[in-house]
Structures are given as structure tokens and as C-alpha cells.
Amino acid sequence: MSMYRHFMALRHISRRSIGTSVCRQVDNKVPLKQKMFQEDNGIPIHLKGGPKDALLYRATMTLTIAGTAYLLYELFNAACPKKKD
């Protein structure tokens, strides 16, 4: 019987959660986000998230344009090698 009791105690311990923190109830924000993104207010979908989205969009466009310009510059340099004296 002792072995059975140890097995049951182990089974009980394994079912308990490992963390000691209390479970918190989190509000469901999905319906609010759906309402915000589905609203027809003339703003493009990639900018409806607010100022953070606008900043991220501008940074992405700036890096894309700068990278394309640098690529074209390097391609031009590779296509037109410098003359040796």
C-alpha cells in the first residue's frame, strides 16, 4: 500500500501548477480591436493602429528607399569600373 500512496501523492503534485503566482483575469480586447480596424474612416488599414503604426510605416519606407538607392549606387559602380592609369 505504501507504493500506491507514493504514486497517488506524486500524481497529485504533478497536477498542481508549477508557478506560485495567482491567475489573473485578462480582459478580451479582440472585439474592441475588430471594431477599430473595421471602421470605415478613410484611414488605410496599416495606419489604423495609431502613432506607433505611422512611425513604423515611415521607418520601413525610409529604410526601403535608402536601401534601394544604395543598391542602385553599388550596381552602377560595379557596372562602370574605374580606369587604371
Name the residue ranges covered by the structural domains of the chain.
45-85
How many Å apart are CA 83 and CA 76, to the nearest integer?
14
Q: What is the pLDDT of residues 39-53, one digit of tens each?
A: 999 999 888 989 999
Instruction: Tell me, yes or no, if the pTM score tops 0.75.
Output: no
Q: 19 is written with which cell numbers?
A: 508557478
Res 10 pLDDT > 90: no
CA distances (Å), 41 to each of 35, 36, 51, 52, in order?
12, 10, 16, 18
Determine the pLDDT at residue 20: 61
Number of helices and strands in the chain (H, E): 3, 0
40 contacts 33 by C-beta, under 8 angstroms: no
